[in-house]
Structure 1
Amino acid sequence: MAPLSSPQKTGKKRIRLKKSLKSLIEFRGGNQVDQTQFQSTTRKLYDGPAGAVLYLASKLSLHDPLVGRIIKTRRFDVTEFRSILDIGSGAGQILGHLLRETHPDARLVACDLSHQMLKRARSRMDSQRPNYLSADLTNLPFLDESFDCVTCGWVLEYVTDPRHGLSEIYRVLQPGGSLFLLATEDKFSGMLNSRTWKCRTYNRVELEQAFEDSGLPWKEQLWFTPIHQFLKLGGIIVEATKPTEPATTSIQSS
């Protein structure tokens, strides 16, 4: 009888297979150009026909209603916030639900790299509540600690280093403020999505470390449904919290 492979060898084989699939399927542009070029490619993509069908695609893929379910059932409770920044809000997958579920007096700011996506969002939302402006995740035009909540759906995939985006989110969040973020995971379905939407994917463990490095520890990992959680599908969905200012400790002399 042939000896069984050790768990360590099996794990290494899986890692090599995953890397091989990733190199064949996943869009590699984000790793081969600098951030400025990546942004230019992204803006052209979403200004064009792909951006025009994004809202419909979010409905057909069930991303829009599933995000709405998380917010409506208060697994991520937006009712407590009074100043919310929605990053990458062009298709309205999160913004529409914020309009329905937040306090009527809550300030909503919707930003997107693509001017065309913002025009589509303004038309689709049909509301005067949000302020719309074009903005780059890695260089947000807001003062420090401007918001008590940031939502960011499928945007970090367009940043070559996630820390560059997360550090900006950290900066504009108030201490104790919350971040609700969704990102494409490096599973097979995520790799296909990467090829379609010209974005990168993230490894869950590595992304959690990037959050830690940026001062935004994960509070909770969320899933669309129990089935998504059981099958580990649906991408990376997390709530993170900016810590309150650490208490200063006095050094006592001996």
Structure 2
Amino acid sequence: MAPLSSPEKPNPKRLRLKKSLRSLIEFGGGDQIDQNQFQSTTRKLYDGPAGAVLYLASKLSLHDPLVGRIIKTRRFDVTEFRSILDIGSGAGQILGHLLRETHPEARLVACDLSHQMLKRARNRMDSARPNYLSADLTKLPFRDESFDCVTCGWVLEYVSDPRDGLSEIYRVLQPGGSLFLLATEDKFSGMLNSRTWKCRTYNRVELKQAFEDSGLPWKEQHWFTPIHQFLRLGGIIVEATKPLEAEAIQSL
């Protein structure tokens, strides 16, 4: 686990260079079209051939096994939770590990914007345990405080403003509940990934602020391996906790 410290703010010259690279490489649709159109484009992408190869791509990129390692070694301990929502379940990059590592009586709900991805997940998991539901991250069809854990892997990149998604996660989380989220960072590799998967990227400092604005302060930053941490690669992987009511009142 990495120590919880504020991400280092880049100097102005580095910011200008990164902005120029982003304009040349990164997919710009998330900033240039409205959220409804963005989601329509996303749904078509994952309903089609790109979505069909996502599971294989997650294996080849090692994202699937590396996420599994974080969960299996209990760096993010899912054994304590009894009601878990997995957002963006289509490729099973997190869902498969939840099936193996959570308590057998824990309630698992798998949701995805793409109906076709949900069908693929259902077939791939070959388990009757999860409930599968098509849902929009910004309009989750669940009551307040329905889950004690939410996992969300590479989904927030398809929301124009991260606060729209994070505020919904905050709403459905129970006080004291945990969020485990992975997002594409605005590094060079992330920009290439953005172009491939038609998504946006996030600056670590700005995303941390969006979490705080949404009432979900970061508890821990995770890295796939020490090498990833040393080279600052692998994207943004964070654990956040919804404050207990008493803590929330004290912070006001």
Give, in whole Å, the separation in 1 of the partners of 2:2 and 2:236: 39
Give, in whole Å, the separation in 2 of the partners of 1:3 and 1:220: 7
Distance 1:240 1:192, change over 3 A: same
Distance 1:15 1:122, change over 3 A: same
Contact 2:2/2:222 (<8 A) preserved: no
Distance 1:125 1:204, change over 3 A: same
Show the counterpart of 1:153.
Answer: 153
Question: What's the CA shift for 1:128?
Answer: 0.4
Distance 1:2 1:141, change over 3 A: closer
Give, in whole Å, the separation in 2 of the partners of 1:218 and 1:253: 15
Q: TM-score, normalised by structure 1?
A: 0.93
Distance 1:250 1:69, change over 3 A: closer
Question: What's the CA shift for 1:253?
Answer: 22
Question: What's the CA shift for 1:12?
Answer: 2.4
Cα deviations by residue, 1:205-245 (Å, 9 ceiling, x for unpaired): 00000000000000000000000000000000000000000
Cα deviations by residue, 1:49-95 (Å, 9 ceiling, x for unpaired): 00000000000000000000000000000000000000000000000
Distance 1:12 1:123, change over 3 A: same
Give, in whole Å, the separation in 1 of the partners of 2:238 and 2:251: 43
Cα deviations by residue, 1:78-123 (Å, 9 ceiling, x for unpaired): 0000000000000000000000000000000000000000000000
Question: What's the CA shift for 1:249?
Answer: 11
Show the counterpart of 2:235.
Answer: 235
Show the counterpart of 1:47.
Answer: 47
Give, in whole Å, the separation in 1 of the partners of 2:248 and 2:114: 49
**More relative contact order, 1 or 2 (CA 8 Å, 6+ apart):** 2
CA RMSD, 1 decimal: 6.1
Q: Which runs of 5+ in 1 are unaligned?
A: none
Give, in whole Å, the separation in 2 of the partners of 1:175 and 1:63: 30
Report the secondary structure of 1:44's partner residue: helix
Distance 1:76 1:59, change over 3 A: same
Cα deviations by residue, 1:10-41 (Å, 9 ceiling, x for unpaired): 93222111110000000000100110000000
Distance 1:3 1:88, change over 3 A: closer
Give, in whole Å, the separation in 1 of the partners of 2:137 and 2:91: 16
Give, in whole Å, the separation in 1 of the partners of 2:189 and 2:226: 18
Give the number of the structure whose alpha-carbon radius of gyration is greater: 1
Distance 1:16 1:176, change over 3 A: same
Cα deviations by residue, 1:108-165 (Å, 9 ceiling, x for unpaired): 0000000000000000000000000100000000000000000000000000000000
Question: What's the CA shift for 1:252?
Answer: 16
Question: What's the CA shift for 1:250?
Answer: 15
Question: What's the CA shift for 1:251?
Answer: 13
Report the secondary structure of 1:208's partner residue: helix
Distance 1:154 1:251, change over 3 A: closer
Identity of aligned residues (%): 90
Show the counterpart of 1:251.
Answer: 249
Report the secondary structure of 1:250's partner residue: helix
Distance 1:6 1:28, change over 3 A: closer
Distance 1:13 1:170, change over 3 A: same
Q: TM-score, normalised by structure 2?
A: 0.94
Q: Which runs of 5+ in 2 are unaligned?
A: none
Report the secondary structure of 1:252's partner residue: helix
Give, in whole Å, the separation in 2 of the partners of 1:105 and 1:253: 35
